[in-house]
Amino acid sequence: MKQKLIAGNWKMNGSLSANEALVRAVQAGAATGCQVAMCVPSVYLSQVQSLVAGSGIWLGAQDVSAHEQGAYTGEVSAAMLRDIGVRCCIVGHSERRQHHSESDALVAMKAKQALAASITPIVCIGETLAEREAGSTADVVRRQLAAVIHLNGHCISEIVLAYEPVWAIGTGKTASPEQAQQVHALLRAQLRAATVQADRVSIVYGGSMNAANAASLLAQPDIDGGLVGGASLKAADFLSIVAAARS
Ligand code: PEP
């Protein structure tokens, strides 16, 4: 059975001193039985790389360029991320789709760049509240995943998929375990149609996961972990989620 993955998304939070305290506290409390990742702002990747070295915690980035190298001012390539020890990278987070107009095609290109550099892309997909209320959740998430499968067909089993209903991110509203499982199951079916290795793919849930709701979400058969925003900034909360993933 594959280990569950709990990935913290720090978003645009942190400072040298706060990062060190947070990483040290998580390291002190985390144990084996669950894969932990910390996706940190790019300026802090080197710092956190030094802090997590040898601990088994994956160093994660929050974005990557869709291009290999060259005249793309301000962007960071997958090879550069790999160079400083990045093991996984969020792509297509809804905040980037919303604030930076990232399309399904661009997200698929970013996943491809990550895979080419041996970085596990954590591909985020999810519907808005309006889309859920219109009954189009399945269509939306299938379309978003299809773009990634289309461009990355033969290595699709190397990705991590994060189902993050947009209406649950940072809002305190969580999908119920049944709502989340329903979507995860249809994503698993879509992956099965694309690869015989679909069961290798971790499909993690994100959206206001916290110490109180993690266990019931993680008990669902197709929920293989969590992508955790707000609660990843508090060591005690993050460690409670990690503990729920190990039990
Ligand atoms: C996220 O940023 O991916 C996320 C799930 O945030 P939160 O846990 O704060 O809803």
CATH number where 57 lies: 3.20.20.70
Contact residues of ligand 1, CB 6 A cut-off: 9, 11, 164, 169-170, 206-209, 227-231
Cα(71) to ligand 1 centroid in Å equals 32
From CA 107, how far away is CA 113, in angstroms rounded?
Answer: 10
Question: Hey, what amino acid is at 93?
Answer: H
Query: Token match 């099965």: residue?
Result: 192
Question: Hey, what amino acid is at 56?
Answer: G
Low-confidence ranges of the chain (pLDDT < 70): 247
This prediction has a pTM of: 0.97
Do the Cβ atoms of 164 and 207 come closer than 8 Å? yes
From CA 64, how far away is CA 84, in angstroms rounded?
Answer: 13
Query: Cβ contacts of residue 85 below 8 Å, gap of 6+?
Result: 45, 49, 53, 59
- Residue to probe by mutation, ligand 1, list 96, 99, 209, 237, most atoms within 8 Å of CB: 209
Which residues on neighbouring strands pair with residue 202, listed in sequence order? 160
From CA 232, how far away is CA 38, in angstroms rounded?
Answer: 8
Number of domains comprising the chain: 1
Do the Cβ atoms of 170 and 160 come closer than 8 Å? no
Catalytic residues: 93, 164
From CA 92, how far away is CA 166, in angstroms rounded?
Answer: 12
Nearest-atom number in ligand 1 for the CA of 210 is 8
Query: Cβ contacts of residue 245 below 8 Å, gap of 6+?
Result: 4, 5, 6, 33, 34, 214, 218, 225, 226
pLDDT for the residue 30: 77
pLDDT for the residue 146: 97
The pair of structure tokens assigned to 34 is 């669950």
For helices 45-52 and 16-29, what crossing angle results, to 10°? Answer: 30
Domain range for 224: 5-246
CA-closest residue to ligand 1 atom 3:
229
The pair of structure tokens assigned to 41 is 């702002």
From CA 245, how far away is CA 171, in angstroms rounded?
Answer: 22
CA-closest residue to ligand 1 atom 1:
229
Query: Cβ contacts of residue 182 below 8 Å, gap of 6+?
Result: none
Nearest-atom number in ligand 1 for the CA of 226 is 5
* pLDDT, tens digit, 9 for 90 and up, residues 148-194: 999 998 899 999 999 999 999 989 889 999 999 999 999 999 999 99
